[in-house]
Amino acid sequence: MTAGALDGIVVADFSRVLAGPYATMMLADLGADVVKVERPGTGDDTRAWGPPFDADGQATYFNAVNRNKRSVVLDLHDSRDLGRALDLVRGADIVVENFRAGTMDRLGLGYRDLRAVRPGLIYCSITGFGSGEGAALAGYDLLVQAVGGLMSVTGPGPDEPTKAGVALVDVLTGVHALAGILAALHHRDRTGQGQLVEVNLLSTLLSSLVNQASGYLGAGAVPGILGNRHPSIAPYEVFPTASRPLVLAVGNDRQFRALAQALGRAALADDPRFAHNTDRVAHRTALAAELAERLAMRGADEWFALFRAAGVPAGPINDVREAFGLATALGLEPTVAVPGSAAPQVANPITMSVTPPRYHRAPPRLGEG
């Protein structure tokens, strides 16, 4: 088996549901030995989150973020099992937990307790709203999308705030946790010093609002819902065609000129209303009407082929099956076979030339070490 970048690193994973397990699966894919600590009887909540279930009766939600791990069942309120948890930590390089803030401290498994046992320990704590005034708030993705502003800029119209179709804030928080852990590992390699890494869903979302947050902070512009349009770019939205909807994501004047030529309307690129991006944003409604008239003449797949050849960023709105088909057609190898797994899994999106991700263990059954 090819060596992993994190071979020899042991992770005591006390996390459950999504943000923490996503981060620890990334660590496991990169070679770390991840031991998932689960409660007796039920294990991780997501083991029961179905349908759908795979051919072996396992919840596909759980399977999405738990491959390459071992599972150990511990009741952290039982003194004997708590002692086993401490033994696990003594041999670990990394601890990841996403209990409500303060829970691990009350169990004697907080960072201050564990660094005394393991001075070089990297301890990653994931919360919904931090460990201060927000400690008592439950960190559910939908809730954070609402109070964190994402739903205020997402949806078909001003009175229809809408959540993203996946638990996007959890996933983004898992990625930020991974980044913090890897940075802390690098620091420990240089100094021998462990540290506490803290991430929370609300702060992750605010950072991930990027241009929308910057527009508010830098210009006082409080963004609202624009449906599928972009506040600063045009055309950057969904258009109907003769078959199914098509996205245009034209980011500069050169691309717009190529679009106009591909549509058979080259003069649009010289129209003073549309010549530059700021003009197009100011006249987006008139521009959309011009484009919609032409796009209605052909189907989305035909336009996709024409625009791709012309270098115009565009594409049909695929369902998940079609999205995997596109990735496969592009040679991206989006799925992998995992030994012992009843179904293929999504490949780790990171590729590495020397220490690539490895797939050697199916998501564990409860207690399967």
Q: What per-residue confidence (pLDDT) applies to 87?
A: 94
Work out the pLDDT band at 201, boundaries 50, 70, 90.
very high
The pTM (predicted TM-score) of the whole model is 0.93
* Number of alpha carbons in the 13 Å side-chain half-sphere of residue 98: 29
> Residue 97 is encoded by which pair of tokens?
């937990």
Mean pLDDT of the 83-88 span: 95
DSSP string, 102-157: THHHHTT-SHHHHHHH-TT-EEEEEESS-SSTTTTS---HHHHHHHTSSGGG-SSS
Mean pLDDT of the 264-292 span: 96
CB 74 within 8 A of CB 105: no
Provide the mean pLDDT of the chain.
95
Q: What is the pLDDT of residues 153-187, one digit of tens each?
A: 999 988 899 999 999 999 999 999 999 999 999 99
Q: Which domain holds residue 271?
A: 246-316
CB 239 within 8 A of CB 288: yes
Assess whether 261 and 166 both reside in one domain.
no
Examine residue 362 and state whether it is found in any structural domain, yes or no.
Answer: no
Question: How far, in Å, CA of 90 to CA of 101, rounded?
Answer: 22
Assess whether 77 and 157 both reside in one domain.
yes
* Number of alpha carbons in the 13 Å side-chain half-sphere of residue 32: 25
Assess whether 179 and 269 both reside in one domain.
no
Active site residue 56: no
Q: Which amino acid is at 99?
A: F
Cite the beta strand spans of 182-270 per DSSP E: 195-200, 236-239, 246-249
- The CATH number linked to 300 is 3.30.1540.10
Q: What is the CB neighbour count within 10 angstroms for residue 46?
A: 19
Q: What per-residue confidence (pLDDT) applies to 117?
A: 86
Question: How far, in Å, CA of 175 to CA of 69, rounded?
Answer: 18
Assess whether 337 and 302 both reside in one domain.
no
CB 45 within 8 A of CB 32: no
Cβ-count burial 288-322 (b if 16+ within 10 Å, e if not)? bebbeebbeebebeebbeebeeeebbbbbeeeeee
CB 150 within 8 A of CB 141: no
What percent of the chain has pLDDT above 70?
100
Question: How far, in Å, CA of 115 to CA of 103, rounded?
Answer: 17
Assess whether 166 and 192 both reside in one domain.
yes
Q: What per-residue confidence (pLDDT) applies to 207?
A: 98
* pLDDT over 70 at 1, yes or no: no
Mean pLDDT of the 188-207 span: 97
> Residue 326 is encoded by which pair of tokens?
């596109």
Examine residue 281 and state whether it is found in any structural domain, yes or no.
Answer: yes
Q: Which residues sit opposite 70 in a β-bridge?
A: 35
Assess whether 163 and 260 both reside in one domain.
no
Work out the pLDDT band at 135, boundaries 50, 70, 90.
confident
* pLDDT over 90 at 138, yes or no: no
Examine residue 77 and state whether it is found in any structural domain, yes or no.
Answer: yes
* Residue in the block written with tokens 């051919």: 55
Among the listed residues 170, 279, 301, 319, the single catalytic one is 170
Assess whether 279 and 159 both reside in one domain.
no
CA–centroid distance for 19 within its chain: 9
Assess whether 27 and 168 both reside in one domain.
yes
Assess whether 109 and 146 both reside in one domain.
yes
Assess whether 342 and 308 both reside in one domain.
no
Assess whether 311 and 339 both reside in one domain.
no
- The CATH number linked to 58 is 3.40.50.10540
CA–centroid distance for 141 within its chain: 12
Question: How far, in Å, CA of 163 to CA of 169, rounded?
Answer: 10
Assess whether 196 and 260 both reside in one domain.
no
Cβ-count burial 121-159 (b if 16+ within 10 Å, e if not)? bbbbbbbbbbeeebeebebebebbbebbbbbbbbbeeee
Examine residue 235 and state whether it is found in any structural domain, yes or no.
Answer: no
How many domains is the chain built from?
Answer: 2
- Give the closest residue to 26 by CA, choosing from 149, 180, 139: 180
Examine residue 366 and state whether it is found in any structural domain, yes or no.
Answer: no
CB 70 within 8 A of CB 35: yes
DSSP letter for 352, please. -
* pLDDT over 80 at 137, yes or no: yes
Q: Which residues sit opposite 36 in a β-bridge?
A: 13, 71
Q: What is the pLDDT of residues 308-357, one digit of tens each?
A: 999 999 999 999 999 999 999 999 999 999 999 989 999 999 999 999 99
Examine residue 186 and state whether it is found in any structural domain, yes or no.
Answer: yes
CB-count exposure of residue 178 (10 Å: 0-12, 13-18, 19+) = buried
Q: What per-residue confidence (pLDDT) applies to 101?
A: 85
Question: How far, in Å, CA of 169 to CA of 341, rounded?
Answer: 27
| Residue 11, helix vs strand vs coil | strand
Q: What per-residue confidence (pLDDT) applies to 158?
A: 87
Mean pLDDT of the 214-239 span: 94
Examine residue 69 and state whether it is found in any structural domain, yes or no.
Answer: yes
Mean pLDDT of the 143-150 span: 96
